[in-house]
């Protein structure tokens, strides 16, 4: 699996969660049929505005779509910028991403 760092996590004015990878692009992410889109102008993956799902669930969905459709593991780093993301949500995302993968836990 290819790893790409997440440059920015942002919640835009419309309430959508945006995730900007450092290198990769995902023009056909819609094929994953996971309600995740790609904005080529801003180079971001995005979710719809949360209604039934939380932002954390949408973050998981974006990461899963990139993994399933492209074989790319998106990871946050200490350099990841957080824009208009509540501190509690940031802490949840960081805590989750710091957990080892289920495959790694088995070894």
pLDDT value at position 98? 76
Residue 91: in which H helix or E strand, if any?
helix 87-97
CATH fold of 2-87, please? Anthopleurin-A (2.20.20)
Segment 15-28 mean pLDDT: 97
Backbone angles phi, psi at 56, to 5 degrees: -60, -45
| pLDDT bucket at 104, cuts 50 / 70 / 90 | very low
Q: What is the mean pLDDT of the chain?
A: 91
pLDDT value at position 87? 97
pLDDT value at position 32? 86
CA distance 25 to 43: 7
**pTM of this structure:** 0.90
| Exposure class string for 54-84: b at 16+ Cβ within 10 A, else e | ebbebbebbbebbeebbebebebeeebebee
Residue 44: count other Cβ atoms within 10 Å of its Cβ: 22
């Amino acid at each position: 699996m290819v790893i790409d760092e997440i440059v920015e996590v942002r919640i835009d004015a419309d309430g959508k969660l945006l995730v900007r990878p450092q290198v990769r692009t995902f023009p056909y992410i819609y094929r994953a049929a996971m309600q995740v889109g790609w904005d080529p102008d801003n180079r971001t993956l995005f979710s719809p505005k949360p209604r039934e799902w939380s932002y954390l669930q949408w973050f998981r969905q974006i990461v899963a779509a990139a993994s399933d459709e492209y074989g790319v593991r998106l990871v946050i780093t200490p350099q990841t910028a957080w824009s208009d993301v509540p501190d509690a949500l940031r802490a949840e995302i960081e805590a989750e991403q710091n957990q080892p993968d289920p495959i790694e836990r088995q070894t």
